[in-house]
Amino acid sequence: SQRKLVEKDWSGPVRVLGGAGTGKTVVAMHRAKWLAQNRFTDPSDRILFTTFTKNLTVDIAANLKTICAPDLMRRIQVVNLDSWVAEFLRQEGVETKIAYSNLTDKLWEEAYTLSPVELGLPLDFYKNEWQDVVLSQGCQTQRDYLQARRVGRGTRLSRSQRQEIWPVFEEYRNLLLAQNLREPDDAFRDAARLIANRGPESLPYKAVIVDEAQDMSPAAFELLRAIAGDPRHNDLFIVGDAHQRIYGKVVTLSHCGIDIRGRSKKLRLNYRTTDEIRRWATAVLEGITVDDLDGGTDSLKEYRSLVHGDAPVVKGFATSEDELKFLKQTLTNIQTNESILSGVCLTFRTNTLMEKFEIALKNMGMPVKRIHRDQPDNPLEDGIRIGTMHRVKGLQFNYVFLPALNAEVLPLQAGLDQCADDTAQQHFINGERSLLHVAATRAKKQVLVSYYGQPSPFLNRHAQG
């Protein structure tokens, strides 16, 4: 089924869904190679391979080099979309920075001073409304906002209330412009307009490959449609799995000019994890309705593994010290049986937890190697790998440890505290469950979960097997 997806002349955009471990990224990489080798062979032809995070592009580029000759690699550009659009705008003479939360928090605090006190809406309501309504629907004016859909937003607003709060968004956008900053979605739309004005033929791309599509926004897909040009054979190849959505963006491809009718495929066989791990990780998501990236729903009912092994182990301890003793003993046992420890990964919800355990492991005399954002992981280098749950996305290891899954860690209490209403809170919790699903499905042989004090509510009876 994978080869048929790769080696076919498709009449238009293709969407491939599949659970963790089904080989979506491998299919996408081989698709890029096949197109470069068999369809778009001119030295000037380019294939854009893009994904949401910079982390993944580093790993994908390293893996592509193992299957593609240098002449093919020169024609396959691997870059995350934020980086691509920043460079494109710079070349077009638009000097702007992409705005991330570390740059915008102070601007939001300033804009929030215009919030009507009598409405009592918290700052995080405005941030979420901006992301889910204003940005996602491209609202530039108050009139745009008054006409925008607010489906799925927990707090109801009358027309007059929308008019009252619009100045907050207007001020925030003015503050961004004053500091030469653009939100990613605004930058995507700027780039799409520039491409439309001068014509997509001005770009060298003959095809666009999209990995981890579930984390991309509608504006991102509108830009990808513009980059790919008018619909044609082999133009867009999109892979993803909304069960693994950890950045909270829902998209309907058909609303972005991407028609996948008759070209929707699904991978169902998990080549990575044992069936026991697959069942445990799938149970974490029980009860969540998951979309198919095009307005429908997706399911893992036919998702299966052929390999069997040990069920995930869940261990609770009274103190952090007791948990560390368990980790030391277990890691020592693995060290005795494994010639190299690069197949062992400890992954954490936060950087703070990761740094704490990194120090503890080093104090135990364990070799430790942090998985960095800007460089691929080399499995030939010895050392227990450590990284956040977000960073290990797209990677795989023989053994995955999930330490400190305490009640306040997953779902992260700091995130829950910022939720403006019940709807936002449920959305956040679902994202946290997806994050645990992603982390657990990095494992090929064994998952070991531990906590001290009160456990995460996600470690319920069903999930523990």
Based on the domain organization, do 159 and 214 belong to the same domain? no
pLDDT above 60 (res 461): no
* Tokens read off for 105: 């928090």
Question: In Å, how far are 269, 325, 346, 429, 454 from 402, measured between CA atoms?
Answer: 25, 15, 6, 18, 15
pTM of the model as a whole: 0.91
Based on the domain organization, do 261 and 119 belong to the same domain? no
pLDDT value for 380: 83
Based on the domain organization, do 71 and 172 belong to the same domain? no
Indicate whether 215 belongs to any domain: yes
pLDDT above 50 (res 266): yes
Percent of the chain at pLDDT exceeding 90 = 82
pLDDT value for 462: 43
d(CA 236, CA 273): 29
Based on the domain organization, do 255 and 320 belong to the same domain? no
Q: How many domains does the chain have?
A: 3
Question: What average pLDDT does this structure show over 220-225?
Answer: 97
Based on the domain organization, do 431 and 337 belong to the same domain? yes
pLDDT above 90 (res 340): no
pLDDT value for 136: 84
Tell me the per-residue pLDDT of 113-168, one tens digit each, with 9 for 90 and over: 999 999 999 998 999 899 889 988 889 999 999 999 998 787 889 999 999 999 99
Where is pLDDT greater, at 151 or 324?
A: 324
- Residue 395 structural domain: 304-452
Based on the domain organization, do 368 and 325 belong to the same domain? yes
Based on the domain organization, do 378 and 436 belong to the same domain? yes
Average pLDDT, the chain: 93
What is the Cβ-side half-sphere exposure of residue 420, based on CA atoms within 13 angstroms?
15
Based on the domain organization, do 169 and 192 belong to the same domain? no
Based on the domain organization, do 27 and 117 belong to the same domain? no
Which of 182, 215, 234 is a domain's end point?
182
Tell me the per-residue pLDDT of 438-459, one tens digit each, with 9 for 90 and over: 999 999 999 999 999 999 999 9
Tell me the per-residue pLDDT of 361-392, one tens digit each, with 9 for 90 and over: 999 999 999 998 777 778 888 999 999 999 99
Based on the domain organization, do 316 and 413 belong to the same domain? yes
